[in-house]
Structures are given as C-alpha cells and as structure tokens.
Amino acid sequence: GDVSGSPYAHLMGWIENPSASDDDVPFTHTLKEVVVMHDPPSVTVYNVKEYGRRHLRTLEYASNMSLCLHEVSGEPYPDRVGGILAMSGGIPMTTASPEPSLIITRALNSEMGTQTLVPGRFLAGLLPACLVERYIFWQDEDDNLIGYEIPKNAAETEIGADTKSSTRLRIRMLKHAGSDKSGFCNSAADAMVQRVAVRDSDEESDDVDPDRPVLTLLNVVTAPAGSLLKQMGMLLSRLDNLSQVLVWSASAGNSTGDTSECTIDLIELPRVNLSFRAKLITKIDGAVEHRLYSNDNDGLYIATSLESRERVGALLGNIDHFIVLQNEDNDLFVLVPGCALPRRMHLDGTHLSVQVLLDRRNSEWIDNMGEIRCYLYPVHSSKSFLITPSLASSMYLMVMYFIVGMYGEVYKMVDSCVSEDLTSEEAQIFNQLEFLGNDNHPDAHACRLKLSAVTVGLGDNSAMKCPWSVFEEMREYVKKYDFVSSACRLTTEEESLLLKMSAYPSMGRRLPAELVNRSAYVGAVSNIGTLPAGKTLSVKVGIDKPPVIDNFDGGADTSILDNPKNCLITSKLFGAAYSRPEEDQVAFGGLRALEFINAAIDHGVEITSSSYGFPLMYDLLVGTVAFKLHPNDKTHNWGRILVRLVPPGDFKRKSAEMSALRILSENPGVAQHPHIPKFQIDSAMSKFKGMFQGKDAVSRVLNELHTFLTKQSIRSMLNFPVASIESQSPAVMTLRRPTSFFDYRLWVIPRVSDYSQSNFNLDVQNCAAVNIPLAQIQAFASKPLAPIKLESFVVSLSRSQLREPNVSGAVPFDLSASKAARTHCSEATTQRISTDIQKYAHGANNKTTPTLIGFSPTDIDSLHSNSSSLKKAISQLGALIKALHGLMEFDRMSLKNLMARALAIATSDERSDQPGSVPEECNFLRFRLGQVSEREPSVWFELLVASILSSAAEQDIRSLNPYLSSAAYRTVNSLTVVAMLASIRIGQSHRALAGLSHLVKLLRSVKGTNTPEEQMRLCQEIGLQASKVAADLTCERHFMRVSPNAVEFDPRFLVFEFTYSLMLRKSQVILVNKFLHALKHNKSMCHQMIMGAGKTTVVAPLLAMILADGKSLVTQVVPHALLDFSRGVMREKFAAVVRKPVFTFSF
C-alpha cells in the first residue's frame, strides 16, 4: 500500500546464502527485513531467524547509529543516506545459516505460569539498548514480556543504598487483527513498555511501590515528523544515540497503545549520566509554562527558543552536538556531552575535512570520564564568548575547535589549557591532538607551535609533552607564513623560543637555511623598534645554491626571419614520416582525444619526433589539426602547451623550426592568418626524393613561412616575448624603523601588550557624541538601576522602623578580675576590642536599610488581615517588574548596538577617516579585502575589553587597523566601556527579577485561611525575600569617581565585573585597594575574612588579575584540602577575556 504518509516503510525479502562445498547440502536463504525511516532518512536491516519454532529478528545494519535503538557491533564507519553523513554500523548483506536453538523456560509459581527467556540479541533495535543491557527479559504464555532488573555488583553498590527495591519492565503486546499467510513474517503488533517500581527485587514478588509512578516509554524513532516527541528526540540525539535515550510519560496510553496524547515527564540518558524532569512553572504574569529541568544542574532547564540556539551556534561554529540550557535569570548555558570520542573524518587527502565523527561507545574513553560526563559552558551575558569552568572543559572545547577548523579560537584558548599534571580524562583529550597531526593548514602549524611554546616549561617528562616535532612544524610554519591568519601569528618572542627548540643538539645538525634566515630576521624585527630615526638595520641571509634551471623564456629566437636554412636535418627525416591524426580521433573530444594527448606527453614532445614533433605542433598552432578536449577549446592553446614541453636541448639551440614555433605561439593572430602556409604532407615516394633535394615538407613550409613573416604587413604584427630573468635572492635585507601603522603588516598580531593599566578616564563629551547621555553614565557609575526611579519602589528605614533593637556599644564580657588581663599587652587588646565594638555599634545604629515600599514589618504583618495591603503590595511589585523589564529590554538593545558599532568602527566597517585619492582608496580596499581573507587582523569584542587593561591600549588596537584615527579609537573605547556596563546591569536586573518572581509566589500563598504558624513562616520568608530584592535593586558601584568631564576608575575592576556578570561589594573593593596600597608602599599585609565574603571566588582572583600584569608572577598558597577547588576557580576566572595559564607547585 501507499506508505508515503507513514513515518517508515517496512520491506521483506530474501537473499541466497553462499553455496556449500558439499553438493548434497541444499541451497538455503536468509530472510531480510528492512525498515526505511522517512524523517530523518535512515535504513535498518535485520536478519529473521528461526529460534525455538519462532521467527525473531537480529539487527545486522544501521545506516545511522545515532537514530537506531541499538548500536551494531563492530567498528563504526561514516556513510551517507539521503545526503546525511552519519556513523553507520554493521553489514546489510550478511547471511544466516540454519542452527540449533536452546530454549530456557522456568515456572516460578503457578500464578506467573511458564516463562521463556528471550535473549537480548532478539530485542536489539526494538527496545533501547540501555534497557536491553539493564534487564533480563522473560516472555509469558500470553506473549507479553517482563524485564527483571539485573542486580548490581556488590562493588558497584553504594554503602547504605537500598538493595531490595527495584524496577520492572512490563511489555504488553498489542497484536493487530488478521494472520500472516505469506510466510514473510507479516504479522504485526505494537507494544506498550511500562516501568513499574517494586519494593522487593525478588523476581517472584510483585509488590508494586505506590509512591513511585508507573512510567510509559515513548518511541522517538516512529514518532510523526514535526511532533513534539520527534523534535525532542532529535534534540536529545545531539547528546547521545537514541539507543541511550529514554523518554518516559507518567500518563499511560490508551488500550490500543496510542501514546500521541502522552506528556513528556521524564527523560533519562544513562550513558551520559543525565536526566530531565518536567515541571509546570507559573510565571510572574500568571502564564503556565512546561519546562524540562535538569536533575543534575540545579535550576537549569532546556531552552527551546530558536534564538538561543542560533546565538550559541554562532559561538560554536560547526560543533553541533550540544543543547542549550537556561535558568530563571535567562542566562544561557551550553551542555556538551564529553563521553563521545571526537575524531575528524579522513578523506582521500585532496582537501581538508572538518567533519566531526563521534564514537559514542568507546568504553575506555567513557570510563576515564568518571561520573560527570558532560561539560557545561556558561554563555556570557554579552553573548560574545563562552566561559570554560574547568581544565578538562577548556581542553575538550579546544580540541573540538581544532577538528572543525576554527583555528583562531584554538589559538586563543591555548594559554588557558596548560597544566603540569593531567587526570586520565584530561590526558585522553590532550592525546587527540596527535590524531590531528596530519592537518597541514598554515594555521594548524601555528596552533601546534603555540602549544609547544606554552608547555615548554613543563619539561620533557610532562603529561603535556607535545606529540609532534617542533622542527618540522616550525619549518612548515616558515614556509607558509604568508598564509597564516593574522589571529594565529606567533610573536617574535615565541618564534625565537621555538627556533631554539628546533635545533638538533643531540644529532649535531645545524638548522636548515630557511630557519637560520628566519632566526636572523626575527632577531632583527625584535630590535627594529629601538633604531634611531633614519637608521637602518641589515640582516645577512644565507642562500642555498639554487638549482640549475633551463629557462624557456630566455629571449626571442628570430632564426626563421634571419636564416631559414638553419634547420635540423633530423627534423626533415622524421617530418617525412609524419602522419596527421585523423579528425575523428582528436576533433570531437572525449576519451579518444584524452588518450591522444596523454600518449603525446608520455612519449615526449620533441622537434624531431615523427608523431609528436614539429609538424604536429605546427598543425596545432595554425589550426590544421582541430584538437579539442572541451567544445570551447582553442587548438592554438594546445599547440602552445606542447611547444613548452619540448626538451631543453631543442629550445636552447636556435633553429628555424624552434623559432617558427615560438613566434607562432606568441602571436595567435598571425598563426590564424588565412594566408599562413600550411604543412603539406608528400606522397610516399616524394618524401625521400625531396629530402635530399631540399624540397621536403619541412623545408618547404619553413621557406614559405619565412617569406610570409618577412612581409612588411605581417612583420609589423609580430610581438617578441621579453626575456624572463631568473630571480636572485638578496644576500642582505635592509630593515627600517616603522614610521606608521602601515609598515610591516605581516608582523601585526592582535594581542594585549600587558595588563598593568590602573586608571581609565571615560570621556563624557565623547560619549555624548555617540548619543550616550550623561545621566546614564552617572547611573552606571553609582546606582545602575536608578533610571527606573528607585525612590518609587525603595525607601531607607532605620533600625527602629525595622523593629530592630539598637546595638549595644558595651563589651559583653568583663575580664578586669583576671590577672592575665592586667598586663600591658592585654590592656591594649581590651581597649582595641572596646573601641571596635563602640565603632560598630555607632555605625549599625545610624545605618539605614533599603526596604521595598509596602514591605515594612508593619506592612508585612497586615498582609493576612488586610486584603488591600496585599493587593497594594502585589500592584507595587507588578509596577517594579514592568519597570525592570523595560530597562532590561533597553539595555539588551543598547548592548547589541554598542557592541556592533564599536566593532564596526574598529574594523572600518564604519569609516572614521575621510576618503582620499584613488590610490589611497585602492589601498583601503586592499586592506578591507585582507581582513576578509584574515591576512589583515580584525578585532573581536573580547579583545576590545581586554585592551583597556593595557598600558599601550591605543597602539594595540590602532596597529590592527591603520585607518583608525586616534579620535575614532577613543570612541571605540567609550562604546566598549558603556557596553560592558550595560551587560553588567542586565545581570543585575535578572537577579532582581528572579527575586521578585519568588516574592510574588510567596504573596500568592498569603490566604486568610492560613494557620498562625503558616502566617508567621510566610511573613518571615516575605520579609527576608523583600530585603534581598531591595539590596539587589540598590546595589552600588564603589570604584568609579564622577566628574563633570569624565568618569575615572580602575579598569581591572570593571573587566572583572563584566567577565563574570557580578557587582563587587564595597567591602571587596576596599580590601583589594588596601592590598594594592600596601604593595605600592612595599609593605606586607594579612587580612582575615569570614566564610562567604568572596575570598576564594572574588578577592583572590581579582588580586591575581591585577598583580599578574605581564611582568610579575603571582603565587597563591592554599591548604591542601582547598587546592583542587582554588585551582579550579583560578582556571575558570582566567579562561575568558584575560587568559592566563595556571600552574601548581607542590612543596
């Protein structure tokens, strides 16, 4: 029947088995079952086997193992079905021979009856492989199946775990009407698979646990195209093969097995160790949303919007095995499965492949991953880069970028992917770089060399010993330097280091000439900036003796004009033997013409050849032989090609024949002249008579050609080629000090010189010129959320208004009676304690606390008794939420526009200079084309952010674009800083909205019917949550100073806030400044902080970023118990914007 509207087509057939050697054995056949899926296209092939008087399937082939419910044994291989590249497995044309069956039955009790064991191989492709591996299946007398969970080994069972409870799979067969009379196993049935929780793992027990729901398995493979289930399945197939994906519904299907109306309630991915549970979420506006929350990453749920995936896709390029998660604050996260071994597909070598192949069942790779088998990458609020939270996640992303050919991203990440010691997980990721050693892209050489330079200090016994030859990589890098992208170029310091590493001290060999010259040149470039004005620097270059080349274009040969008798005797002899090719052999292209030209090249083209000599080339040039491979070919061009293939002995000796061929080659108009002499082939007897009388065919055509070419009308048409002089490498290169950013463009590298800039002035007038008002800048510098008119929503209350007692200034204990307290040192300590308590009490008693209007203690107490107070509070929060949403939407648009314009000006998409003369405009267009080809550098937003930390920031950025003026650079700086501030405010708004959402939910729980205990608990929660929201709303920036003309601040504080979407507390800013002040005056300082004050996650990384300015090494000493955590924090903080390696010293 017509199955065009069905999700799949089902085919049956048979193939003949190979004949046996014994003639008495009859021919046998294998019954094949083929399932062709429509969307996406895939093919699955089964063998139908007889087992215990029943026909059962065994899976033999899957064209796309990602979409099959079982992973076929054997090594997977890439294949295409319907134009889609996927990992295939198995062989479709396998055969099956008759074999005996072993049937195992049991009868545990009379109620259960007789059960027959069903081997797992007969369920492959029908049930997800993760279930077949976890359960043993028995078939009842009514053909239904029960799967009993395989008990875990004692070594795998956690201490204290419940070893009695278990789950069972109940598979109910829903047979279709009718019976099969074809003999091709066409009887059909559906199955409903349900997982039931039981209290006792004993297989005889059927004690169902009523507290755990019965779950029904949904079939993603056969789900209709476009359905929610199909879309979700295709999304999850990015994380793992569908054989390892379980989609459960708590709502059972109907009696016919139809699950189309079932909800998706639980998703499990056992191999990746992930699960998601559905929740109905009531939003602030009262709308109900169905979300799939991760059970492994608290507060994150699957983002379903196309915009989210497109934004992440722009960052990951051709990496597509990921899903996007988000939280209540609308922060995005990228979830990438790490248990898939990534490889690049190898082609025939004609071109580079950047196609990723994922081996998702490599057991060794999976075992090294441990329990956490996914990498979670937060997306920065600016949506311009990812944050890598661990070394393993950084290395995995770097390897993936390498595989897909995003070498610029690899180069950026190298600095943060370094460690002196690697775990088994990190080591196996690093080892994948060895399999990319055949990548000969110029940028690939640069990336490998960069990694060698960064890891050189780790030593030869390091776990990160690079598996490639620095010498070979450096040699290829130098050869291909002109084609290395600007973002991947090595600095002069790195090249000098790598050239030293390239030497062969153990073998006593010197570097080859190209590397010796490169070393001298790099050394000169390193010192060129110190040259006095007008002075030059000479670099001596070693030159290898060039090979002797016979130059065809050594000059004109006019023998045919001056001395036509100067011809070759042998050409006459072989010219007499010349036989012109038949027209049907060469004139119509195709295989015969190709064979003819191949034969000419293989035989060798010589002037004196009878078959492929002077007569053939002459005929081709003048068009007598109409040779063509392609219909648009010109015969004259083929003649020119053959003329250039003659051996040096022919073209170096001046002769009339060679002169004629050269002149006709360079003058197609003359060669095609209607009166050009043609080569006339003599009859058999005339050939030899004429040869001795000087009247042979070659002599005649040369004489006639001489007469023709010497005519005045023809002579004036002749063009003679200019002799090509062979290139001579200079022995000395002269370098001059660069006078502008236009000089030495191949040495321009996008990088930040240092991170030592401690003061930045944001020009208010410059901001006003790009439509950034002063009020907005003042708000950013003090209270970022002030534009929503905070005074309408927040009020400051004293301790008495908050019903809090005053803090006593008296010391709460008396030590005067103790003898030990009467010493000079003890009295000084007691006095200091007394002074500190009095100071704290004075500050606390005079301090006011920001409080949401309508949420004072009195207001909160009246919520249960006064409905108008409740309505007023909800209305107040609604207005606040609306104002925050409006500000956040404004900031999002501003951030997008500010980033785009900053990049446009920095790259000259928006020109900041005035158009010049035609030559100047041509140079500008040449520069812009260079940016497109990546020969010229282009900036990215991360680089603009990091550049404000440089003491040479203007030179760092303007050197990348010589057309960027100083005024335009200041504009770029202003746009960048304001974009950073807008990004931080978006994060602050998100946090406030998340708190408001929780507060609204609490207010909706307020009911007059609540018990006094519930009322007290709710009032306390509402008060605490309202205080938190008020604190988030009134959060201030404490490191900026505003003046009428500028905003002055330390850019390192702002970059830290921007990178991690936070706002520094006042105490943190004060403490860091104290440390910097002490360091400036060469003093030591020690400070004790309470838990939760941010010493590990804020203060220590911020100090490290400030002090590690490119000249100083920062050492952080931590207790052994905190080493892994502190090191992980440091690696996370220095894996984006400011990228730095983190090393561990054990002592």
**Residue 506's CB: how many other CB atoms inside 10 A?**
6
Which structure tokens are listed for 570?
């042998």
Closest CA to 468 of 435, 491, 497, 442: 435
Contact 449, 473 (CB under 8 A): yes
Backbone angles phi, psi at 703, to 5 degrees: -65, -45
Contact 486, 412 (CB under 8 A): no
Pairwise CA distance, residues 610 & 349, whole Å: 40
Pairwise CA distance, residues 1109 & 756, whole Å: 5
Contact 935, 378 (CB under 8 A): no
pLDDT value of residue 539:
84
DSSP 668-722: HHHHT-TTPPPP-PPPHHHHHHHHHHT-SHHHHHHHHHHHHHTSHHHHTT---PP
Q: At 406, which amino acid appears?
A: M
Helix, strand or coil, per DSSP, at residue 842:
helix
Angle between helices 635-643 and 614-622 (to 10 degrees): 150
Residue 40 CB partners (closer than 8 Å, separation 6+): 64, 67, 82, 84, 234
CA 72 to chain centre: 29
pLDDT value of residue 39:
82
Give the bridge partners for 77, in sequence order: 88
Which structure tokens are listed for 867?
């409905």
Which structure tokens are listed for 819?
């003898």
SS3 assignment for 911-934: CCCCCCCHHHHHHHHHHHHHHHCC
Pairwise CA distance, residues 641 & 294, whole Å: 68
pLDDT value of residue 536:
84
Residue 243 CB partners (closer than 8 Å, separation 6+): 65, 68, 69, 70, 71, 128, 129, 130
Q: Is pTM beyond 0.75 here?
A: yes
Backbone angles phi, psi at 50, to 5 degrees: -85, 125
Measured between alpha carbons, how far is residue 390 from residues 82, 423, 427, 445 in Å?
Answer: 39, 12, 14, 26
Helices (H), 437-512: 442-455, 470-479, 492-501
Backbone angles phi, psi at 597, to 5 degrees: -70, -35
Pairwise CA distance, residues 924 & 922, whole Å: 5
Measured between alpha carbons, how far is residue 836 from residues 451, 811, 830, 998, 1088 in Å?
Answer: 53, 10, 10, 38, 16
Give, as one character, the DSSP assignment of residue 260.
Answer: T
Give, as one character, the DSSP assignment of residue 941.
Answer: H
Backbone angles phi, psi at 793, to 5 degrees: -125, -20
Pairwise CA distance, residues 579 & 619, whole Å: 11
Q: How far apart are the first and last CA of the chain?
A: 77
The parts of the chain modelled with pLDDT lower than 70 are 1, 20-26, 153-165, 180-186, 253-260, 347-354, 504-509, 568-575, 684-694
Measured between alpha carbons, how far is residue 925 from residues 911, 964, 1134 in Å?
Answer: 12, 14, 37
Pairwise CA distance, residues 810 & 797, whole Å: 24
Count each helix (H run) and each strand (E run) in the chain, helices first: 37, 32
Measured between alpha carbons, how far is residue 597 from residues 412, 458, 590, 622, 661 in Å?
Answer: 51, 59, 11, 18, 18
Which structure tokens are listed for 477?
């890098």
Residue 696 CB partners (closer than 8 Å, separation 6+): 572, 575, 576, 682, 687, 690
pLDDT value of residue 581:
86
The C-alpha torsion from 979 through 981 and 986 to 987, rounded to 10°, is 130
Helix, strand or coil, per DSSP, at residue 1077:
helix
**Residue 754's CB: how many other CB atoms inside 10 A?**
15
CA dihedral sign, ordered 1063, 1067, 1068, 1074:
positive
Angle of CA points 125, 130, 134, to nearest 5° = 115
Pairwise CA distance, residues 893 & 986, whole Å: 11
Pairwise CA distance, residues 2 & 7, whole Å: 12
Pairwise CA distance, residues 352 & 405, whole Å: 9
pLDDT in tens, 722-774: 888 777 777 888 888 888 888 888 889 999 988 989 999 998 888 888 889 98
CA dihedral sign, ordered 1006, 1012, 1016, 1017:
negative
pLDDT value of residue 154:
45
Helix, strand or coil, per DSSP, at residue 449:
helix
Backbone angles phi, psi at 1050, to 5 degrees: -85, 115
Give the bridge partners for 9, in sequence order: 36
CA dihedral sign, ordered 591, 592, 593, 597:
positive
Pairwise CA distance, residues 457 & 462, whole Å: 9
Contact 197, 207 (CB under 8 A): no
Q: At 954, which amino acid appears?
A: E
Q: What is the mean pLDDT of the chain?
A: 87
DSSP 744-758: -GGG-------S---
Q: At 616, which amino acid appears?
A: L
Contact 122, 57 (CB under 8 A): yes
* H-run or E-run covering 539: strand 536-540
Residue written as tokens 């006042």? Answer: 1066
